[in-house]
Amino acid sequence: MNAPIDHLERRRIRHHPEHPRPTIVHCYNEYTRHLDAGATTLIIDSGPDQWLELGHIPDNVDITITGQTCAAVTGGSITAAGRCFLQATHHARVSAYDFAHVEAFDTTTINAHGESRIVGTDYADIRADEHAVVFAHCHCHVHAAGHSRIAATDATTVAINCDAQVRASAGVHITGDHQSTNLTIDARPINRLADHLNR
């Protein structure tokens, strides 16, 4: 027979130090103050009128930007959610969810989920699933799965899986399940996909 858990024990379980509650910050000063104080889990939720240069995210810190936050990272790992905007460079690792918009440069790695929008260039590695939308050029590598929609140009490589829809220019290297229903060769794939999304 299970004994009832008393009030203090319930609090101890909820506030266990192995699972710290995330701290929500709204500006760059709060972000740096909490990092300096040793915070390991931060959620940044600021308005679109602020631009946050977050620099390199430390390895031992979980950062999530959400809401309409606009930010840039120059490395490390970060989660982008809500309707935020993020620029990621220098080997940064990004997990994008909801309607996040991410611009990826310099060998950044992106895992795109939900209905996130990704613009990749300069050797970015992008894994897109669910209903993510990717605009890829300049030697990007895209792994398209789920119902993702991809527009690729230049010397991009696209691996097609599942029901992903790909529009590609003639110079794009296609691998995977490139059935005619999933792949469209187009002289201007990025413009075509953008026009389709704006209807």
Helix (H) or strand (E) segment spanning residue 184: strand 183-185
For residue 1, the model assigns a pLDDT of: 43
Is residue 96 very low, low, confident or very high in pLDDT (cuts 50, 70, 90)?
very high
Q: What is the pLDDT of residues 72-95, one digit of tens each?
A: 999 999 999 999 999 999 999 999
Angle, CA of 194, 132 and 62, to the nearest 5°: 125
Angle, CA of 69, 75 and 81, to the nearest 5°: 30
pLDDT over 90 (residue 180): no
> Average of pLDDT values for 114-130?
96
For residue 2, the model assigns a pLDDT of: 46
For residue 13, the model assigns a pLDDT of: 47
For residue 16, the model assigns a pLDDT of: 53
For residue 172, the model assigns a pLDDT of: 93
For residue 11, the model assigns a pLDDT of: 47
Angle, CA of 97, 126 and 143, to the nearest 5°: 110
For residue 97, what are its two tokens? 């969810």
For residue 179, what are its two tokens? 């059935």
> Average of pLDDT values for 159-183?
85
Residue with tokens 């897109």: 128
pLDDT over 70 (residue 20): no
pLDDT over 80 (residue 195): yes
Residue with tokens 């009832």: 4
The distance of Cα 106 from the centroid of its chain, to the nearest Å, equals: 15
Question: Model-level pTM?
Answer: 0.85
Q: What is the DSSP letter of 195?
A: H
For residue 193, the model assigns a pLDDT of: 84
Q: Which of 101, 92, 33 is nearest to 69 (CA)?
A: 101
